């Protein structure tokens, strides 16, 4: 009898474990990892460099189902630099793993960069709906207009990504105008702002940061906090992911606790400081959403 009870208890325990396993498996299936990465002047020279830089960049990018890239320097008419980047990712494999959505060169001076979304092609979880460079009433206020992407996540619904790379010298003004960009969206779904906001240290002091949080983006959650260093050279959190949290008309973005933060590729790959900085002076920032 005693042995029988033990057996039954064991049996119940195993079924329970199996069940949690299934639950975990299910949630893993329906989450996607999104990120933002300032690739530090990713130009033709960098894309064709023969050292380990591109191998590591490819490895980093393949963590993500969807990633927003800044500082892509490509003056060609046929997306030469981005195609080289995609080739590095695919390397020997015949199938194309990622596809790119590329902005025109943006910038008011001779320095122009493209903003790029890369996404996993075979992922059935993401449906790309549309993309465009913001061109509304405050577009002149930005050095580089936000690059907007509408997607549909199979497990969730519509999400609008507002990708941006704010100009260091006018972070405060550009950041405030991002609020206008949001208010001018015709569709009221979930929103994710992401990119290199330069939103810290000498470019945005604590008082102004507080104002941004409490006045301009009070319905939003900041997933990269001020203590999270996103830069390899300075202790600053320039790069941000800011999501709508279900207040007012903006639907909540579901994100998995503890998946938000940086990917410290220098430590993970045990790189020298020199090689790490050739990859970028920024860490990617990331979070899992579902």
- Interface residue with ligand NAG among 30, 62, 83, 221 (CB under 6 A) is 221
Report d(CA 282, CA 264) in Å as an integer. Answer: 9
Q: Tell whether residue 231 is a contact of ligand NAG (CB under 6 A).
A: no
Q: Measured from the CB atom, is 152 or 226 closer to ligand NAG? A: 226
Q: Tell whether residue 228 is a contact of ligand NAG (CB under 6 A).
A: yes
Q: How far apart are the first and last CA of the chain?
A: 47
- Report the DSSP beta bridge partners of residue 261: 286
Helix (H), strand (E) at residue 70:
strand 66-72
Q: How far is CA 167 from CA 6, 71, 179, 260, in A?
A: 66, 12, 16, 24
In the set 56, 71, 143, 165, the catalytic residue is 165
- Interface residue with ligand NAG among 39, 82, 182, 224 (CB under 6 A) is 224
Q: Measured from the CB atom, is 70 or 260 closer to ligand NAG? A: 260
- Interface residue with ligand NAG among 52, 252, 261, 275 (CB under 6 A) is 261
Q: Measured from the CB atom, is 36 or 228 closer to ligand NAG? A: 228
Eight-class DSSP state of 212:
I
Q: Tell whether residue 159 is a contact of ligand NAG (CB under 6 A).
A: no
The size of the interface with ligand NAG (CB under 6 A), counted in residues, is 10
What is the closest distance, in whole angstroms, from the C-beta atom of residue 58 to ligand NAG in the complex? 25
Q: How far is CA 39 from CA 109, 115, 175, 253, 276, in A?
A: 20, 10, 21, 26, 11
What is the closest distance, in whole angstroms, from the C-beta atom of residue 217 to ligand NAG in the complex? 12
- Interface residue with ligand NAG among 225, 233, 247, 268 (CB under 6 A) is 225
Q: Tell whether residue 223 is a contact of ligand NAG (CB under 6 A).
A: yes
Q: For residue 88, indicate whether it is catalytic.
A: no
**Residue 115: CA atoms inside 13 Å, Cβ hemisphere, count?**
24
Helix (H), strand (E) at residue 151:
strand 147-153
Scanning 17-25, 163-171, 209-217, 224-232 for contacts with ligand NAG by CB under 6 A, the matching segment is 224-232
Q: For residue 211, indicate whether it is catalytic.
A: no
In the set 113, 143, 174, 229, the catalytic residue is 113
Q: How far is CA 179 from CA 138, 216, 286, in A?
A: 10, 6, 22
Report d(CA 150, CA 192) in Å as an integer. Answer: 10
- Residues numbered 38-67 forming contacts with ligand NAG, rule: CB under 6 A: none
Q: Tell whether residue 214 is a contact of ligand NAG (CB under 6 A).
A: no
What is the closest distance, in whole angstroms, from the C-beta atom of residue 72 to ligand NAG in the complex? 17
Check: CB of residue 152 under 8 Å from CB of residue 158.
yes
Report d(CA 236, CA 199) in Å as an integer. Answer: 8
Query: What is the set of active-site residues?
Result: 113, 165
The residues binding ligand NAG (CB under 6 A) are 133, 135, 221-225, 228, 260-261
């Amino acid at each position: 009898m005693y042995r029988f009870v033990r057996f039954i208890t064991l049996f119940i325990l195993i079924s329970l474990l199996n069940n949690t396993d299934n639950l975990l498996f299910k949630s893993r299936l329906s989450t996607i990892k999104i990120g933002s990465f300032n690739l530090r002047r990713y130009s033709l020279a960098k894309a064709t460099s023969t050292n380990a830089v591109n191998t590591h960049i490819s490895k980093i990018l393949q963590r993500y189902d969807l990633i927003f890239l800044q500082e892509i320097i490509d003056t060609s008419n046929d997306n030469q630099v981005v195609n080289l980047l995609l080739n590095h990712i695919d390397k020997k494999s015949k199938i194309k793993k990622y596809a790119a959505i590329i902005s025109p060169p943006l910038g008011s001076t001779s320095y122009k960069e493209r903003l790029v979304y890369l996404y996993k092609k075979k992922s059935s979880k993401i449906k790309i709906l549309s993309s465009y460079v913001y061109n509304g009433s405050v577009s002149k206020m930005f050095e580089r207009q936000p690059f907007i992407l509408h997607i549909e996540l199979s497990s969730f619904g519509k999400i609008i990504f507002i990708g941006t790379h704010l100009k260091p010298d006018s972070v405060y003004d550009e950041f405030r105008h991002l609020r206008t960009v949001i208010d001018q969206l015709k569709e009221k779904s979930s929103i994710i702002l992401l990119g290199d906001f330069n939103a810290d240290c000498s470019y945005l002091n604590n008082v102004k940061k507080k104002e941004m949080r409490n006045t301009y983006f009070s319905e939003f959650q900041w997933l990269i906090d001020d203590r999270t260093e996103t830069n390899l050279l300075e202790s600053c959190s320039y790069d941000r992911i800011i999501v709508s949290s279900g207040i007012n008309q903006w639907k909540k973005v579901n994100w998995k606790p503890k998946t938000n933060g940086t990917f410290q590729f220098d430590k993970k790959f045990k790189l020298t400081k020199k090689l790490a900085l050739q990859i970028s002076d920024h860490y990617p920032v990331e979070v899992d959403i579902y």
